[in-house]
C-alpha cells in the first residue's frame, strides 16, 4: 500500500512537471513576440536616456518663448538624433558584375573591360557611391560618384550627379549642380544604378552619352520641378537650363568620339499621374541645344580628319529633341513606352537636317522573386547623318528575366538580337549580378 | 422576435468589428490639415507629396512589418512588403527621398514622434489613438464611421 502511494506521488509530480514544461512559452511565435517586446523596450530606454541627457545638458531658461509646452520641447531635439534624418551623411552604394558575349569580336556601346579580339568578357560596369545629406528641412545635398570601368580594367571617376536641392514646397523643387537630364522617363526612373533596372542594360537611345548613347544625359545648371494645381489629373512640370559638354564615343568602340562642344541646353517637360489610374504616367518633353560634330580620337582627344565635303569642326547644329512617353508601373506590371525624335539642323553653313527617330517598348511582370521581361528597341540614324554615323539603323528584341535573390541583390539574364544596316545582325547574351547596399 | 434580436446583434457585432479594424491617419496637433482624400494619402505615403500645405515638410512614420497598420499601408499603396521595400530603396537612389519612412516599433514611439515633429504623419489602429494625436478625416469620414476606407 505504501509502495502504491509512493508510486502515485511520483507519477503526480512527474505529471505536474510535464504540465509545467508544456506551459512554458517555448513555441517560436511566443519567443519572437518576447524578443520583439525586449527590442521595443530597449529602443524606448535608449530614447528616454537620450531625452534625459539632452534635458541635463540644456540650460533651464534656454527654452524658446514661442515653443510648445515643456514636455514637447524636451522631446523635439531628443528624438531627432535618434532618427538620423537631420544632418550627417547618408551613404548608399550600388554596383554590378557582368558577363557579356557577342557573336562578333568587336565591342558595342561602352567598351568596359572588352578585350579586342575576344567575344565574351567579364566586367564591372558602374560602381556608384551615393551620398545624401540633409542641411535643413528644405535643403539637402546629393552626390553620385561613379567608378566606371574602361579599357584594360582601368577605372575613371565620374561625378554623375552633384546637387544642392531646395524643396520650397511641392510646387517648386529646385536643384543646382550637375544633374541627370529629365529627357524622357528612363533617365529619371533608373538613374545610374543597374539594380534599379529590370533589364541588364539601358535601351540604346537612353544609354549614357559617355557610353555611346544618343541623348545628352548630363548637364550642369539648374533643374526645377513641381506639381501644377490640377486636381485629380496630377499634372507636373520640369524645367532645366544648363551646360553639358558631351563627348560621345562611337558605339562600336572604333577609337573615335564626337566632341559636341554643347551650348547651354533648355529642357521643359510636362507629365501627369492621374489619380484614377494608379501607376500610369504620361509625359512629354522638349529639349534644345547647339552642338558641333568634332570627331576626335580617343583617348588623346586629337581632331580626326573629317571625310571630304563634311563641314569643318566650327560647324554648328541646332539640336532639338522631342520626347513622349506612356508608362504604367503598378500591380507588379512594368510597361514602358517612349519615343524620341532627335533633329539636328545645320546652322549658317547649309540647310542640312538630320532626323533620328527612336523608341523602345518594355514590358515585364513580377511573379514572386522572378520578373521576366521583353523589350523592343529601334533607332534610325539616316545613312548621311554625320553626327550619328556610328549608330545607323538598329532595331530588335531583347528578352530575359530578373531574379531578386533578396532586397539587395538581383541576378539578370538577357538575350539580345539587333538588326543593323549594312552590317550583320548582332546577337548577345548577358548575365548580370546587380546589387545595392 | 428572437430571430430579429439575433440578426440585429449579429449586424451590430460585425459593424463593431469592422470599426475596430479601422486605421486612423494621425498628425501633429498643430498641423492645420483636417482632412484628405485617399489619393492624397497614397501620394503622401508614396513620397510623391513631400510638403504640407502649411509649408513644412512631411515626415512619414510607419509601423513594423506584420502589424495591422502596416497591412493597411500596403493595401493603400497597392504593394506587397517586398515591393514596398524595393520601392523606397529606388526612391532614395533616384534622389526623390532623403531616406525611407522611419519604422517605429511601438505606438508609444509613434506618439512621441508625432509630438516631436510638426510634419509627422502616421497610421494608428483606431483603438490605439491617444491624446496628442490629431485624427484626420479620409474622404470626409472619420475612422469608426460607416464607409471609412482605411482598414
| pLDDT score for B19 | 58
Q: Collect all residues of chain B within an 8 Å Cβ-Cβ radius of residue A191.
A: 93-95
Q: Collect all residues of chain B within an 8 Å Cβ-Cβ radius of residue A436.
A: 89, 93
As a whole number of angstroms, the distance between CA A428 and CA A46 comes to: 55
| pLDDT above 80: residue A104 | yes
Q: What's chain B's length in residues?
A: 151
Contact B98 A75 (CB under 8 A): no
Q: Collect all residues of chain A within an 8 Å Cβ-Cβ radius of residue B108.
A: 44
As a whole number of angstroms, the distance between CA B95 and CA A62 comes to: 37
| pLDDT above 70: residue B27 | yes
As a whole number of angstroms, the distance between CA A415 and CA A398 comes to: 5
Sheet with strand B23-28: strands edge to edge = B102-104, B59-63, B120-125, B23-28, B133-135
Q: How confident is the model at residue A75 (pLDDT cuts 50, 70, 90)?
A: very low
Residue B89 CB contacts under 8 Å (≥ 6 apart), including other chains: A407, A436, B100
What's the ipTM? 0.84
pLDDT tens digits, residue range A363-398? 999 999 999 999 999 999 999 998 898 899 999 999
| pLDDT score for A151 | 77
Q: What does the CA dihedral A226, A231, A234, A239 come to, rounded to 10 degrees?
A: -30
| pLDDT above 80: residue A6 | no
User: Would you say B134 and B117 are in contact if contact means Cβ atoms under 8 Å apart?
Assistant: no
Question: Which DSSP letter does residue B57 get?
Answer: B
- Cβ-Cβ contacts under 8 Å between A and B: the total is 93
Which is more confident, A238 or A44? A238
Contact B89 A407 (CB under 8 A): yes
Q: In whole angstroms, how large is the CA radius of gyration of chain B?
A: 17
CA distance B143 to chain A (A): 22
As a whole number of angstroms, the distance between CA A165 and CA A174 comes to: 6
pTM higher than 0.90, yes or no? no
CA distances from A171 to A274, B51, B101 (A): 17, 9, 22
| pLDDT score for B49 | 93
Q: How confident is the model at residue A419 (pLDDT cuts 50, 70, 90)?
A: very high
Which is more confident, B51 or A299? B51
* E strand or H helix that includes residue A403: strand A393-404
Q: Residue range A323-346: average pLDDT?
A: 96
Q: How confident is the model at residue B108 (pLDDT cuts 50, 70, 90)?
A: confident
User: Would you say B150 and B123 are in contact if contact means Cβ atoms under 8 Å apart?
Assistant: yes
Which chain B residue has its CA at the smallest distance from A135's CA?
Answer: B98
| pLDDT above 70: residue A12 | no
| pLDDT score for B132 | 81
Q: How confident is the model at residue A87 (pLDDT cuts 50, 70, 90)?
A: low
| pLDDT above 60: residue A77 | no
Contact A47 B109 (CB under 8 A): yes
Q: How many of the other CB atoms lie within 10 Å of CB of A100?
A: 25
pLDDT tens digits, residue range A270-284? 999 999 999 999 999
Indicate the range of A168-182, A246-260, A327-341 predicted with least confidence. A246-260
As a whole number of angstroms, the distance between CA A388 and CA A213 comes to: 10
Q: How confident is the model at residue A153 (pLDDT cuts 50, 70, 90)?
A: confident
| pLDDT score for A57 | 43
As a whole number of angstroms, the distance between CA A80 and CA A59 comes to: 19
Q: Which residues pair with A316 in a beta bridge?
A: A292, A347
| pLDDT score for A17 | 45
| pLDDT score for A98 | 95
* E strand or H helix that includes residue A148: strand A139-149
| pLDDT above 70: residue A196 | yes
Q: Collect all residues of chain B within an 8 Å Cβ-Cβ radius of residue A330.
A: 78
| pLDDT score for A350 | 83
Contact A75 B39 (CB under 8 A): no
| pLDDT score for B109 | 87
The proportion of chain A whose per-residue pLDDT surpasses 90, expressed as a percent, equals 56
Q: How many of the other CB atoms lie within 10 Å of CB of B15?
A: 12
CA distance B78 to chain A (A): 7
pLDDT tens digits, residue range A347-363? 987 888 999 999 999 99
| pLDDT score for B137 | 95
As a whole number of angstroms, the distance between CA B137 and CA B135 comes to: 7
Q: Residue range A237-245: average pLDDT?
A: 93
Q: How many CA atoms lie within 13 A of B65 on its CB side?
A: 7
Amino acid at each position: 500500500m505504501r509502495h502504491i502511494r509512493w508510486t502515485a506521488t511520483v507519477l503526480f509530480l512527474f505529471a505536474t512537471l510535464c504540465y509545467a514544461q508544456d506551459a512554458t512559452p517555448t513555441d517560436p511565435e511566443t519567443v519572437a513576440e518576447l524578443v520583439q517586446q525586449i527590442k521595443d523596450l530597449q529602443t524606448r530606454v535608449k530614447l528616454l536616456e537620450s531625452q534625459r541627457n539632452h534635458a541635463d545638458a540644456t540650460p533651464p531658461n534656454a527654452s524658446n518663448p514661442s515653443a510648445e509646452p515643456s514636455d514637447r520641447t524636451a522631446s523635439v531635439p531628443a528624438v531627432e538624433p535618434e532618427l538620423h534624418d537631420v544632418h550627417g551623411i547618408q551613404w548608399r552604394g550600388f554596383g554590378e558584375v557582368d558577363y557579356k558575349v557577342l557573336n562578333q569580336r568587336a565591342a558595342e556601346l561602352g567598351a568596359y573591360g572588352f578585350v579586342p579580339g575576344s567575344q565574351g568578357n567579364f566586367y564591372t560596369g558602374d560602381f556608384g557611391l551615393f551620398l545624401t545629406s540633409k542641411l535643413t528641412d528644405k535643403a539637402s545635398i546629393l552626390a553620385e560618384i561613379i567608378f566606371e570601368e574602361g579599357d584594360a580594367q582601368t577605372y575613371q571617376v565620374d561625378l554623375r550627379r552633384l546637387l544642392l536641392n531646395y524643396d520650397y514646397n511641392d510646387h517648386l523643387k529646385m536643384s543646382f549642380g550637375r544633374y541627370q537630364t529629365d529627357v524622357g522617363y528612363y533617365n529619371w526612373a533608373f538613374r545610374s544604378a543597374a539594380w534599379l533596372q529590370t533589364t541588364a542594360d539601358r535601351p540604346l537611345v537612353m544609354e549614357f552619352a559617355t557610353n555611346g548613347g544618343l541623348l545628352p544625359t548630363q548637364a550642369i545648371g539648374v533643374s526645377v520641378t513641381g506639381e501644377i494645381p490640377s486636381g485629380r489629373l496630377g499634372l507636373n512640370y520640369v524645367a532645366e537650363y544648363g551646360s553639358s559638354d558631351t563627348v560621345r564615343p562611337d558605339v562600336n568602340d572604333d577609337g573615335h568620339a564626337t566632341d559636341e562642344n554643347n551650348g547651354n541646353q533648355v529642357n521643359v517637360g510636362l507629365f501627369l499621374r492621374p489619380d484614377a489610374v494608379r501607376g500610369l504616367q504620361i509625359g512629354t518633353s522638349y529639349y534644345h541645344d547647339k552642338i558641333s560634330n568634332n570627331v576626335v580620337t580617343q583617348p588623346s582627344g586629337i581632331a580626326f580628319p573629317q571625310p571630304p565635303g563634311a563641314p569643318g569642326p566650327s560647324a554648328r547644329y541646332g539640336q532639338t529633341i522631342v520626347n513622349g512617353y506612356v508608362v504604367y508601373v503598378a500591380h507588379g506590371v512594368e510597361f514602358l513606352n517612349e519615343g524620341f525624335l532627335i533633329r539636328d539642323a545645320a546652322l549658317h553653313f547649309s540647310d542640312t537636317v538630320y532626323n533620328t527617330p527612336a523608341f523602345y517598348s518594355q514590358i515585364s511582370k513580377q511573379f514572386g522573386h522572378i520578373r521576366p521581361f521583353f523589350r523592343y528597341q529601334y533607332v534610325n540614324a539616316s545613312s548621311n547623318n554625320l553626327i550619328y554615323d556610328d549608330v545607323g539603323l538598329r532595331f530588335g528584341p531583347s528578352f530575359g528575366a530578373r531574379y531578386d535573390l533578396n532586397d539587395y541583390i538581383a541576378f539578370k539574364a538577357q538575350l539580345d538580337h539587333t538588326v543593323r544596316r549594312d552590317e550583320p545582325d548582332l546577337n548577345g547574351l548577358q548575365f548580370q549580378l546587380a546589387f545595392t547596399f | 422576435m428572437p430571430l430579429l434580436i439575433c440578426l440585429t446583434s449579429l449586424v451590430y457585432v460585425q459593424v463593431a468589428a469592422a470599426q475596430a479594424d479601422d486605421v486612423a491617419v494621425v498628425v501633429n496637433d498643430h498641423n492645420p490639415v483636417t482632412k484628405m482624400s485617399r489619393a492624397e494619402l497614397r501620394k503622401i505615403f508614396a513620397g510623391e507629396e513631400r510638403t504640407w500645405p502649411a509649408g513644412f515638410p512631411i515626415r512619414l512614420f510607419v509601423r513594423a512589418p506584420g502589424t495591422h497598420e502596416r497591412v493597411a499601408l500596403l493595401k493603400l499603396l497597392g504593394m506587397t512588403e517586398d515591393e514596398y521595400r524595393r520601392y523606397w530603396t529606388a526612391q532614395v537612389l533616384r534622389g526623390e527621398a532623403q531616406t525611407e519612412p522611419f519604422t517605429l516599433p511601438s505606438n508609444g514611439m509613434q506618439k512621441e514622434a508625432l509630438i516631436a515633429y510638426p510634419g509627422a504623419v502616421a497610421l494608428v489602429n483606431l483603438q490605439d489613438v491617444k491624446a496628442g494625436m490629431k485624427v484626420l478625416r479620409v474622404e470626409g469620414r472619420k475612422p469608426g464611421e460607416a464607409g471609412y476606407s482605411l482598414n
